Amino acid sequence: MKIKYYGHSCFLIHVGGKKLIFDPFISPNPQASAININLIEADYILISHAHQDHMQDAAQIAKRTGATIISNWEITQWFAQKEQVPAVHPMNTGGQWKFDFGTVLLTPALHSSSFPDGSYGGNPNGFFIESNEGNFYYSGDTALMQDMKLLGEYKKIDFAFLPIGDNFTMGISDALIAANFIKCDKIIGMHFDTFPFIVINKQAAKVKFSNAGKELFLMDINTELSSLDIINAKVSVG
């Protein structure tokens, strides 16, 4: 599995021979100005909720590549009707589907989900993905919540994407508790530094995790990591 960071909460993940893009918000993000969205290849676009900073580039990428949008019922219908995207796969919270790259479980998230035009965006979600190359959890925008314990109890999570920017989502302290809830030591931070409200002290965040025996990966935009680098990383104390 290869993981490329496109800024904010947007990642491109190669898994099972397919390319999955999560929460595409690239062209409006000045920190991601080096990335040309017209060159991004995708087979699937996974959208956690209807906020602009998670789906701004989804329609354009979907129309150019033919990628299938995977999201909740309300979001997939909005993209099918308003944007006439070529393919959608609607799901809803708690539902699971076996795709050609692996299995997707739509998890709950504690947040909100309205479209910029005021349309109802359903409930916010996260994704738990099981594949032959490992399992990961992408929480979407969320607060810390007890439901995360269920994932930790019943699923094996090799690594997880959690928001750490605070203000709109969990901050570092709650993300560390979330990592305990899901029983996962390898966390990739997201939803930080994009806007003034979510600027964090990256060094302090990494130290907080390593002091707790966990590794926090803060990827530079437009860089790539192998899932093996994450899974095999030794937690550096202090």
Q: Contact residues for Ni ion (CB under 5 A)? A: 51, 141
Q: Which listed residue (23, 43, 53, 174) binds Mn ion by CB under 5 A?
A: 53
Q: Which is nearer to Ni ion, 191 or 206 (CB)?
A: 191
Q: How many residues bind Mn ion (CB under 5 A)?
A: 3
Q: Which is nearer to Ni ion, 4 or 8 (CB)?
A: 8
Q: Which listed residue (57, 130, 141, 166) binds Mn ion by CB under 5 A?
A: 141
Chosen from Mn ion, Ni ion, none, partner binding at 214 (C-beta under 5 to 8 Å by type): none
In whole angstroms, how large is the CA radius of gyration of the chain? 16
Of the listed pieces 14-22, 56-64, 138-146, 223-231, which binds Mn ion according to CB under 5 A?
A: 138-146
Least CB distance from residue 163 to Mn ion, whole Å? 8
Q: Which is nearer to Ni ion, 141 or 158 (CB)?
A: 141
Lookup: tokens for 146: 């007890």
Q: Which is nearer to Mn ion, 116 or 213 (CB)?
A: 116
Chosen from Mn ion, Ni ion, none, partner binding at 130 (C-beta under 5 to 8 Å by type): none
Q: Which amino acid, one-letter code, is at 197?
A: F
Residue ranges in contact with Mn ion by CB under 5 A: 51, 53, 141
